[in-house]
Amino acid sequence: MITLSGRRARILAATTATAGLVLVAGCTSSGSDGGTKTAAGGVELAKAGQLTTCTHLPYPPFQSEIDGKVQGFDVSLIDLVAEDLGVKQQILDTPFENFKTGAFLNSGQCDLAAAGMTITPEREKHVDFSDPYFNATQALLADRKSGITSLADLKAKGRKLGAQAQTTGEEYAKKQGHDPISFESSDAVLNGLRTGQVQAVVIDYPVVQGWLKNKADADAFKVVGNIDTGEEYGFTVKKGNAKLLAAIDKAIKQAKADGTYKKLYEQWIGPYDAAAASSSAS
């Protein structure tokens, strides 16, 4: 997933996954505002009474601002964690590069990061990942008029390829010998395709699924290749934050066991694909 340099962080309220959710106040240690910074299970929070999530917007269907609220698959899953901890989720929109280094986690500005982020050995040097919660594949989406049927076609026909900056999709394209035009966000990637800056893009397939729900986009573009790169998404916490990590893993496991994961998948992504739920976290 993503980067957005120079963008100021901003706090946005997250929606609640469960209607009529009852929130329970935590106990023990107090923050400077007089509220508690220790949630259920002894999980220490950055700010009293809330689970602060760093993300990067927009990245539908995982997180995007809809009607003034941040919503999506990731948001709904972390709402379940917040519910278990007896607090509300609050979202901080930040540049994606901070997730790679764990900067906002280390500084105490966020408790966790949720941004459709692929688990990689390099990233694991700086942050601790939850159990995988989503198996992600890449898609090659092309302009129907371009005649492109594969990545090889792009070079042969002299067409331009786009990708989201600092993402695994961009890395994959480069490893295949391409020099993709980099865009700062998924919205910018789609706009590049719409305006003809590029004739094809490589990006996470669930994002493409969301785009193609729009009839105009479905009429103009088509998926000409699915690329299984073996990627898995995970949520991240500051290294050593074992209690919060355990709470996240517990919520993911429970959601898969009781059908909540399937329900949220169908709500935000589309027809349920059992292969999307990583077996290692089932």
How does pLDDT run across 96-113, given as a tens digit for each residue? 778 778 999 999 999 999
- The pTM score is 0.75
Report the share of the chain in percent with pLDDT over 90: 62
Indicate where the chain has its CATH 3.40.190.10 domain(s): 10-133+234-281, 136-231
- For residue 229, the Cα-to-chain-centroid distance in whole angstroms is 17
Q: pLDDT confidence of 30, banded at 50, 70, 90?
A: very low
For residue 276, the model assigns a pLDDT of 74
Residue 138 has pLDDT above 80, yes or no: yes
CB atoms within 10 A of CB 157: 12
Q: Which CATH superfamily is domain 10-133+234-281 in?
A: Periplasmic binding protein-like II (3.40.190.10)
Average pLDDT over residues 15-42: 49
- The residue among 131 and 32 whose pLDDT is bigger is 131
Distance in angstroms (rounded) separating the CA atoms of residues 204 and 141? 10
Residues 63 and 12 sit within 8 Å (Cβ to Cβ): no
Could you write out the three-class secondary structure of the chain? Answer: CCCCCCCCCEEEEECCCCCCCCCCCCCCCECCCCCECECHHHCECCECCEEEEEECCCECCCEEEECCEEECHHHHHHHHHHHHHCCEEEEEECCCHHHHHCHHHHCCCCCEECCCCECCHHHHCCEEECCCCEEEEEEEEEEHHHCCCCHHHHHHHCCCEEEECCCHHHHHHHHCCCCCEEECCHHHHHHHHHCCCCCEEEEEHHHHHHHCCCHHHHHHEEEEEEEEEEEEECCEEECCCHHHHHHHHHHHHHHHHHCHHHHHHHHHCCCCCHHHCCHHHC
Peptide bond into 61 cis (omega under 30): yes
For residue 273, the model assigns a pLDDT of 78
How does pLDDT run across 165-174, given as a tens digit for each residue? 888 889 999 9
How does pLDDT run across 45-86, given as a tens digit for each residue? 999 999 999 998 888 899 999 999 999 999 999 999 999 999
For residue 13, the model assigns a pLDDT of 52
Q: What is the fold of 136-231? A: D-Maltodextrin-Binding Protein; domain 2 (3.40.190)
Amino acid at 62: F
CA distance to 47, 83, 89, 117, 230, per residue, from 169 (Å)? 34, 33, 29, 12, 12
Residue 20 has pLDDT above 90, yes or no: no
